[in-house]
């Protein structure tokens, strides 16, 4: 029982990170109906920006961990937001009226550019990060096995839930959220009603990139090591989470992220770790066979 509880905690923590990344995928798809395949690499850039900021703050003598994390969060999210805005302006806006395959190829090209840019500028070696929040809480002990809830896991859960609550409020209660929902339903009609669709789409990319940067910081602090390739791996898994939960559904993206995190963690705990990705994708295939729109997705309505 204790071992199962420990893996449940680990899986939920990992799922929170995947969920944050998946929200960016589902936001972009919900508004323009296209997948931003450079989103995973924006997450990777956010992780490297966080490492650079934390290293610089340490060199400047900032010893307060909460202050360092807060400053790093603002810096990484702000710069990553600029990357998200650039991806939209360069890879999507000029091709928005083109055939659907063109923006997809352009986004893959942006992904390769970001990967190689980080590889050249930061090197191909893995970058370690010392543990910043050691220790935690012992929840229970059974048969000499202690169930630990680390401070880092608590921070990840609190930050993720806070951001998701704030974003949900933004989408449901603000004028920007109404504009985003209007663009999701019908871009042309939203434009005719006076909504600046270009601005709304750009802001959507910016918010998604900022959330991905926060996920990058959480990933860095949780695992303590990053490289230029983590964006591809985490991006594919987060995209899988978005599809599993129902692409276009924000609660579905979070639910899918939690599901992927739990599947990976429990499979690695009880079976061969080399096949954890196979297990996750197999579950995705099974779900889509019986629920083609995902767990919380809605069937598309053809507009005539």
pLDDT string in tens for the chain (304-residue length): 788 889 999 999 999 999 989 988 888 887 777 788 889 999 999 999 999 999 999 889 888 888 999 999 999 999 999 999 998 888 888 887 777 778 888 888 999 999 999 999 998 899 998 888 888 898 888 877 888 889 999 999 998 889 888 888 888 889 988 998 888 888 888 888 888 988 998 999 999 999 999 999 999 999 999 999 899 888 888 888 888 888 878 888 889 999 999 999 998 888 888 888 888 888 888 888 888 888 887 665 554 4
Residues 95/188, Cβ–Cβ less than 8 Å: no
Supply the pLDDT for residue 304: 46
**Main-chain phi, psi angles of 60, to 5 degrees:** -85, 0
**Main-chain phi, psi angles of 38, to 5 degrees:** -90, 0
Supply the pLDDT for residue 299: 60
β 136-142/127-128 pair status = unpaired
**Main-chain phi, psi angles of 150, to 5 degrees:** -75, 160
DSSP label of 242: H
Q: Which is nearest to 38 in space by CA: 53, 21, 54?
A: 21
Residues 256/16, Cβ–Cβ less than 8 Å: no
Q: Which domains does the chain have, with CATH numbers?
A: 2-290 (1.10.3470)
The model's pTM is 0.90
């Amino acid at each position: 029982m204790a071992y199962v509880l420990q893996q449940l905690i680990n899986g939920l923590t990992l799922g929170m990170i995947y969920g944050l990344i998946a929200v960016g995928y589902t936001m972009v798809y919900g508004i323009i109906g296209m997948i931003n395949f450079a989103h995973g690499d924006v997450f990777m850039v956010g992780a490297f920006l966080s490492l650079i900021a934390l290293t610089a703050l340490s060199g400047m003598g900032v010893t307060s961990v909460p202050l360092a994390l807060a400053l790093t969060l603002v810096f990484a999210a702000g710069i990553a937001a600029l990357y998200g805005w650039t991806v939209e302006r360069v890879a999507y806006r000029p091709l928005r009226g083109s055939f659907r395959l063109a923006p997809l190829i352009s986004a893959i090209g942006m992904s390769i550019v970001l990967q190689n840019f980080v590889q050249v500028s930061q090197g191909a070696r893995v970058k370690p990060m010392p543990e910043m929040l050691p220790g935690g809480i012992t929840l229970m002990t059974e048969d000499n096995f202690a169930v630990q809830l680390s401070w880092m896991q608590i921070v990840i859960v609190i930050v993720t839930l806070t951001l998701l609550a704030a974003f949900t409020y933004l989408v449901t209660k603000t004028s920007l959220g109404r504009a985003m929902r209007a663009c999701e339903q019908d871009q042309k009609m939203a434009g005719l009603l006076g909504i600046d669709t270009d601005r709304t789409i750009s802001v959507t990319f910016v918010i998604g990139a900022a959330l991905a940067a926060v996920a990058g910081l959480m990933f860095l602090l949780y695992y303590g090591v990053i490289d230029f390739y983590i964006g591809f791996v985490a991006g594919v898994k987060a995209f899988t989470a978005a599809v599993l939960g129902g692409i276009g559904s924000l609660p579905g993206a979070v639910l899918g992220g939690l599901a992927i995190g739990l599947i990976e963690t429990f499979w690695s705990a009880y079976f061969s770790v080399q096949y954890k990705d196979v297990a996750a994708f197999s579950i995705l295939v099974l779900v889509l066979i019986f629920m083609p729109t995902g767990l919380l997705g809605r069937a598309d309505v053809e507009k005539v």
